[in-house]
């Protein structure tokens, strides 16, 4: 069935307190999707952000981001007061997320809510902790220790706690019990509020597309609590780390720094940890985009300590076996494979064998040097089409930055009237959206920035850079009734209602 949706991270929602959250504005965005005839809301990973503020480098693959907890909801529960929130509102930036400011103020407010909550006495909370005992206590202790050590990486902790010696673990659990319950309270409140929002969206006919990074962060509760899952030395240093080889976009490649999986161990255990990870995703989402799908066929391994990705090499991944185990134990799930970039025959075969839809990005289509698989006439229905993703420039600025020869290819492909020099970036943005919507792709997802015809200041992420990413926020009222009606009419015209 044909459908369409909008890509908008939770962090980019309007809010009075510096970052998008599970508050009234999130519910209003669901209503916007309904008015615009959209059936899907795609978001980015919702894990707690760490260094670099990236949702793809989280302190836990199972935990949720405490910044998304609605403070207004905490007021309604009596955990905070309106006066408390005034303290945050006076320093909040409405246009961009200031993560440093959030880190320095939000946790103080959340601690205040925890102290007022008497949460440990409540049966619903106790049940939540019991249901998530496989990861929650370890995550809570990891964060509590990290706080006391000023954010220090667990790789720099003393050997007894770094290597989880049983006596030391018992001592730390006793010492940090109160702090552990604070972090468990945050996860309980995150889960409760998110499930309420998701239920509202589903009742309105809107499904949530989530995003799962293939890798976990090197400094994370996952690596600390389960080092056997990864390619580590006895001293818990990575033998090699993840990245991408040099290409036309980067002479030295991309050095991501994530630890690599010990796939032989995962296969021996029936991929139990991965299956629990996927199971958790489908508690949160209706459909899941798996990032860097190529890594399941082959992954790029860079020796630990290398300054660039130049000296890495390709290693064999788990292939179809992990997806066969997933389907056998979890049933058939709605999954999107992020298959962007250079694809080998092995990746193409793996994608075909799974039957998952891949991704098509129109900004990659118009290369004057060769015909591209991203041109719509090369699609089949089993794919998801985007104008761009969170890693792309906004389409309006993409057009401004495009070479003249590539512009000519795009202009002719879209069969636009007039002459190339007279077309505006705003007109091109809408034509790109139209081209995506009318393609044969079963699902079409458009970034909110493109519907709003925004320029490069609204770009979400520039890969391999630090400092200016993940900050953009939508403004209240950006999706006017007129714009929603325009989107609705187009969606109806191309059979995606």
- How many of the other CB atoms lie within 10 Å of CB of 428? 22
Tokens coding 285: 């989402």
Residue 316: Cβ-neighbour burial (10 angstroms; 0-12, 13-18, 19+): exposed
3-state secondary structure (DSSP) of residue 361: strand
User: Under a CB-based contact definition with an 8 Å cutoff, are residues 69 and 186 in contact?
Assistant: yes
Tokens coding 273: 């940890």
Tokens coding 497: 């209602």
Instruction: Round to whole Å and give the CA distance between 484 and 464.
Output: 35
391 part of the active site: yes
User: Under a CB-based contact definition with an 8 Å cutoff, are residues 478 and 26 in contact?
Assistant: no
Q: Residue 375 belongs to what H/E stretch?
A: none
Instruction: Round to whole Å and give the CA distance between 100 and 5.
Output: 31
291 part of the active site: yes
The DSSP secondary-structure symbol of 261 reads B
Where would I find the beta strands (DSSP E) of 31-169?
40-42
Instruction: Round to whole Å and give the CA distance between 216 and 45.
Output: 12
Which residue out of 179, 338, 339, 450 is catalytically annotated?
338
User: Under a CB-based contact definition with an 8 Å cutoff, are residues 96 and 18 in contact?
Assistant: no
The conformational region for residue 52 under phi > 0 = left, psi -120 to 50 = alpha, else beta, is left
Instruction: Round to whole Å and give the CA distance between 310 and 97.
Output: 34
Which residue out of 291, 297, 339, 450 is catalytically annotated?
291
Instruction: Round to whole Å and give the CA distance between 402 and 410.
Output: 10
- The sign of the dihedral angle between the CA atoms of 74, 47, 291, 479 is positive
Strands 298-303 and 313-316: antiparallel
Residue with tokens 């391994």: 301
List alpha helices for 360-476, DSSP H. Answer: 395-401, 404-414, 425-438, 448-451
Q: Which residues pair with 337 in a beta bridge?
A: 290
Sheet holding 335-337: strands in order across?
335-337, 287-290, 207-212, 40-42, 3-7, 443-447, 383-386, 358-361
457 part of the active site: no
User: Under a CB-based contact definition with an 8 Å cutoff, are residues 60 and 215 in contact?
Assistant: no
Residue (of 372, 341, 374) closest to 360 by Cα position: 374
Q: Which residues pair with 287 in a beta bridge?
A: 209
Which residue out of 98, 276, 391, 400 is catalytically annotated?
391
For the chain, the C-alpha Rg in angstroms (whole number) is 23
Active site residues: 291, 338, 391
């Amino acid at each position: 069935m044909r459908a369409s949706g909008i890509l908008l991270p939770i962090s980019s929602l309007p809010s009075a307190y510096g970052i998008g959250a599970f508050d009234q504005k999130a519910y209003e965005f669901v209503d916007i999707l309904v008015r615009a005839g959209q059936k899907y809301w795609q978001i980015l990973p919702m894990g707690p952000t760490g260094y670099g503020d990236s949702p793809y480098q989280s302190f836990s693959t199972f935990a949720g981001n405490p910044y998304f907890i609605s403070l207004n909801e905490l007021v309604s529960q009596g955990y905070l007061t309106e006066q408390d929130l005034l303290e945050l509102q006076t320093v909040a930036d409405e246009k961009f997320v200031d993560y440093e400011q959030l880190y320095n103020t939000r946790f103080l407010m959340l601690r205040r809510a925890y102290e007022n909550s008497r949460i440990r006495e409540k049966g619903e909370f106790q049940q939540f902790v019991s249901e998530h005992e496989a990861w929650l206590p370890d995550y809570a202790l990891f964060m509590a220790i990290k706080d006391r050590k000023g954010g220090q990486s667990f790789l720099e902790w003393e050997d007894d706690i770094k290597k989880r010696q049983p006596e030391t673990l018992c001592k730390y659990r006793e010492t940090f019990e109160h702090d552990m319950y604070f972090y468990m309270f945050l996860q309980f409140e995150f889960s409760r509020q998110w499930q309420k929002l998701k239920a509202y969206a589903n009742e309105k006919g809107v499904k949530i597309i989530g995003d799962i990074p293939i890798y976990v962060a090197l400094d994370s509760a996952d690596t600390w609590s389960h080092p056997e899952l990864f390619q580590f030395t006895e001293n818990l240093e990575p033998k090699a780390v993840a990245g991408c080889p040099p290409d036309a976009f980067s002479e030295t490649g991309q050095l991501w720094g994530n630890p690599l999986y010990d796939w032989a161990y995962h296969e021996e255990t029936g991929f139990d940890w991965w299956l629990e990870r996927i199971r958790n995703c489908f508690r949160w989402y209706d459909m899941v985009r798996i990032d860097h799908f190529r890594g399941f066929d082959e992954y790029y391994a860079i020796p630990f300590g290398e300054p660039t990705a130049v000296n890495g090499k390709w290693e064999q991944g788990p292939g179809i076996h992990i997806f066969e185990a997933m389907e056998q134990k979890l049933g058939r799930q709605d999954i999107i494979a992020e298959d962007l970039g250079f694809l080998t025959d092995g990746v193409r075969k793996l994608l075909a064998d799974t039957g998952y839809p891949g991704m098509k990005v129109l900004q990659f289509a118009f290369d004057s040097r060769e015909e591209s698989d991203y041109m719509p006439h090369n699609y089949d229905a089993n794919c998801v089409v985007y104008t761009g993703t969170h890693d792309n420039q906004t389409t309006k600025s993409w057009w401004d930055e495009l070479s003249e020869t590539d512009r000519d290819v795009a202009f002719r492909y879209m069969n636009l009237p007039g002459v190339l020099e007279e077309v505006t970036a705003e007109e091109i943005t809408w034509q790109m959206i139209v081209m995506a919507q009318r393609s044969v792709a079963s699902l079409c997802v458009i970034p909110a920035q493109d519907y709003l015809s925004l320029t490069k200041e609204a770009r979400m992420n520039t890969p391999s850079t630090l400092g200016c990413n993940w900050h953009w926020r939508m403004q209240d009222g950006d999706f006017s009734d007129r714009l929603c009606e325009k989107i609705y009419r187009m969606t109806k015209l191309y059979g995606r209602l």
